[in-house]
Structure 1
């Protein structure tokens, strides 16, 4: 039986890489959820397409019901989205959630890089921090993903840190974050009830090199 995976925010760059890693896997059935289906390219293979709004309860009910895994990669009112997604998953008995937030939600980025990161993310950090805590307090089998500053490099090299550990690297490729997420989807017991920082090994400093 195939594992049914719903991708919320499927038009985003990281999500598209995840689709690329998984779309040819015969054991995975993908449902791609986006506000505007035209965001989705024609190379999504046999993936199901769902156009809707994550903050619309009816849309979310129809998309989540019957799934095995929900992967959410969203922007905007992520705290409200986290509340609605968690409640809807619990209602439909879907337990496995992968939810992307950002670095700094625990004030885990130390030194000058931490100061720079807080200035740059600003008010968005508050929303991502709230979303992180909402997911952590849910009864779900969650993995929270906290990427570093993102690049479009064609590379998949990454290292991870766990909640309670200092966040290390200043940047990471979107494709590398997607490689980690795809690995979690394929190995569903990996990093359950964990909040995982993802960064490129060996790239440390006071801010990303591209700033």
Structure 2
């Protein structure tokens, strides 16, 4: 039995991943979020904890005894502080495996006109998420950073991976694909350790996402 805690458990990708975890009898899931009422529907499927991901003490209490931390966090103004709190809580509790959702462009890895567009739209969001990712990379934890391309709600799993230093040229990937990769990492926790992985759907090159 593997014990997984999802931080930011109300996020769209997080909820897709959670549905996969709930149906797996070998996974015990804990959901951590600011407003527990949002996931009251899942109270019979997981342990639900209400808390603040910038509060190290609350995180430490929730993370203790877990095997894997999956952090699906947001907030441009607080993402660095959240990264610091998660890292310290994990170190104090001896939990090593971290799945960290970041954003596209934190290494200036998005190629061509798409890269220019991505930077113009995301702006400071990229800067702050890059700082948070650097904290994760320097943490000494067994992390996997995930950098999805622009996400869709398409009901299909179709993605390819790129590693840090490789360009990203495809403009989209489905949330279901990202959730499936997260679930794969939870089932195979030795995969892509201390790697920063870009996820993109092949064949979606362009100057920006087709729907934008």
* Structures share fold, TM-score greater than 0.5: yes
Shorter-chain TM-score tier: over 0.9
TM superposition outliers: structure 1 runs of 4+ over 3 Å: none
Per the TM alignment, residue 43 of structure 1 is displaced from its structure 2 partner at its CA by 4.3
**1:29 pairs with 2:28:** yes
Task: Give the match's secondary structure for 1:126.
Answer: helix
What does 1:42-57 correspond to in 2, within 5 Å? 42-43=41-42, 45-57=44-56
**What corresponds to 1:178 in structure 2?**
179
Aligned equivalent of 1:115 = 116
SS in 2 for 1:10: coil
Matched with 1:12 is 11
SS in 2 for 1:155: coil
What pairs with 1:97-108 in structure 2 (closer than 5 Å)? 97-108=98-109
Does 2:137 correspond to 1:136?
A: yes
Aligned partner of 1:167 in structure 2 is 168
Asked if residue 195 in structure 1 is aligned to residue 191 in structure 2, the reply is: no
1:117 to partner: Cα distance: 0.2
SS in 2 for 1:205: coil
1:22 Cα deviation after fit = 1.3
Query: Aligned in 2, Cα 1:204/1:41: closer, same or farther, shift over 3 Å?
Result: farther
Number of equivalences:
210
What TM-score do you get using the length of structure 2 for normalisation?
Answer: 0.96
Distance 1:201 1:44, change over 3 A: farther
Q: Distance in 2 between matches of 1:45 and 1:127?
A: 36
Q: Could you tell me which runs of 5 or more consecutive residues in structure 1 were left unpaired when the two chains were aligned.
A: none
Distance in 1, Cα, partners of 2:43 & 2:137: 31
Given that 1:90 and 1:139 are in contact with CA atoms closer than 8 Å, whether structure 2 keeps it comes out as: no
Relative distance call for 1:45 and 1:175 in structure 2 (3 A) is: farther
